[in-house]
Amino acid sequence: MGLFGSSKTESANTPASSMGGSDPKSFVDGLIKSEKVVIFSKSYCPFCKKAKAALQQDLGSNFTVVELDERQDGEAIQDYLNQLTGGRSVPRVFIGGKFIGGGDDTVSKQQSGELKKILQQAGAL
């Protein structure tokens, strides 16, 4: 068990084809539709670690993490996230199928109490 409990991680061993499609668009769209909370991350990124810690604090281990640096299709997924959200940087945090922001956005929403409200509205709490 890692730093974030039993949060699900979709790694290099989980091909996009097994997660709802054979391309990054199908993978990302399928994941954010089927999971209440998804964070697209890179394992070494300090902003990603902060966002995961904020989610962990409010949500526990009930979120899915996609570590892009551990996937063969990570760059392609990141390119699609840029099209979808207008930014390529990580983390990219989705709650209830909606993009809520990056690392600073997630931490700031957690500190203000807004993150908990968003999680409740999405049925994640």
34 belongs to a structural domain: yes
Kindly state whether residue 43 falls inside one of the protein's structural domains. yes
pLDDT the model gives residue 18: 43
Residue 29 counted as domain residue: yes
β-bridge pairing 37-41 and 92-95: antiparallel
Domain contains 39: yes
**Within a domain: residue 41?**
yes
Q: What are the residues facing 41 on neighbouring strands?
A: 67
Residue 79 within any structural domain of the chain: yes
**Tens digits of pLDDT across the chain (125 residues):** 333 433 555 544 344 444 445 699 999 999 999 999 999 999 999 999 999 999 998 777 689 999 999 999 999 999 999 999 999 999 999 999 999 999 999 999 999 999 999 999 999 88
Q: What is the pLDDT of residue 37?
A: 95
With contact defined as beta carbons under 8 Å apart, do 5 and 60 qualify? yes
Q: Is residue 89 part of a domain?
A: yes
CATH code of the domain covering residue 108: 3.40.30.10
Q: Does the residue 125 lie in any domain?
A: no
- Check if the beta carbon of residue 90 is closer than 8 Å to that of residue 102: yes
Domain that residue 85 falls in: 8-120
**What's the structural domain count of the chain?**
1
